[in-house]
Structure 1
């Protein structure tokens, strides 16, 4: 009887000490959500692009397409080659306003006040960050940003809603070069 109890305890001990097995997921997810999101974003961009192209076609001043996905036109262009566009770490002093595509003002220049931005070291929405890189001191440019280049999915959590394309008129007052450049 003692042998039976000891054998049972040893068998129980051996089976109890095996390595844990990895748990399998209850459900598997495919890339279908991502695929649907991509399709939705392409559809949204196509709609925005049609509206933006109508605005561009109706304007007397020609717009340029940027390499980073927005359009812009010069209101005041500085032809002086001695003035440079900003580099990493330069401080840009600028004024701007924000409008919807139908021209309704969201934020005026007075609302936003004069801004100081350290190039690529501070937060700024994608389109404006890339737009400032194209400008010299004294220039005024109108930018048209599709929603993915503006505030994207979240808006600014104040007056700009999610997925809102924007028009911004920006004037660069000065660029202070970073001494480390």
Structure 2
């Protein structure tokens, strides 16, 4: 509850800062302050997200590793062959849930995801995590909002500023 209130407060503060008018003589000074304040608010939101994920990992007794970007991962099954690299085309089965276990999407109903690694088009956290895997690997990723759907969510089942749990299996790997 406290995290939700803090998130709402930060979003409101961000909105107020961005929408404030600037007097003609103050334009350059205000722009610098606004930029610095936005950077500070963004850093604080990333810290809040990191704390929320860390609490989730500890509460569920998960053995996971955090990357420098804030992605948490656990390789559940190692797989075989070469590790995925940029330029490879991967085919993955997946399931996406919110941290509160709310179901969002899965390949069971939507089909597998096929994408070329390094070309975007999927969540940044998914691309980062896939680069840790091999064919037939299974893994769990926890993506903070800035590595998943960001401030706005996906306009469907994933709200804005939400961390997600991604369970994946690399079922196809084509090296290019």
SS at match of 2:145: coil
SS at match of 1:44: helix
Calculate the TM-score normalised by the size of structure 2: 0.77
In structure 2, list runs of 5 or more residues that go unmatched: 1-22
1:17 equivalent in structure 2: none
Could you tell me how far 1:56 is from its partner in structure 2? 1.4
The whole-number CA distance in structure 2 between the counterparts of 1:31 and 1:110 is 49
Q: Give the superposed CA RMSD.
A: 1.9
Could you tell me how far 1:129 is from its partner in structure 2? 1.0
The whole-number CA distance in structure 2 between the counterparts of 1:171 and 1:177 is 17
CA contact (8 A) 2:95 2:168 kept: yes
1:151 equivalent in structure 2: 149
The whole-number CA distance in structure 2 between the counterparts of 1:76 and 1:61 is 15
SS at match of 2:96: strand
Could you tell me how far 1:175 is from its partner in structure 2? 0.8
The count of residues paired between Structure 1 and Structure 2 equals: 151
The whole-number CA distance in structure 2 between the counterparts of 1:34 and 1:112 is 40
The whole-number CA distance in structure 1 between the counterparts of 2:120 and 2:108 is 22
Among 115, 118, 137, the alignment partner of 1:117 is 115
**Per-residue CA shift, 1:112-159, capped at 9, x if unaligned?**
311111111241111111111111111111111111111112222222
Which structure's residues are more often helix, by fraction?
2
1:71 equivalent in structure 2: 72
The whole-number CA distance in structure 2 between the counterparts of 1:175 and 1:120 is 14
1:174 equivalent in structure 2: 172
**Per-residue CA shift, 1:73-92, capped at 9, x if unaligned?**
122223x4xx1112222110
1:33 equivalent in structure 2: 34
Which structure's residues are more often strand, by fraction?
2
Q: Does the C-alpha gap of structure 1 residues 112 and 36 become closer, same or farther in structure 2, counting only changes over 3 Å?
A: farther
2:93 equivalent in structure 1: 95
2:106 equivalent in structure 1: 108
**Per-residue CA shift, 1:58-80, capped at 9, x if unaligned?**
334410112332111122223x4
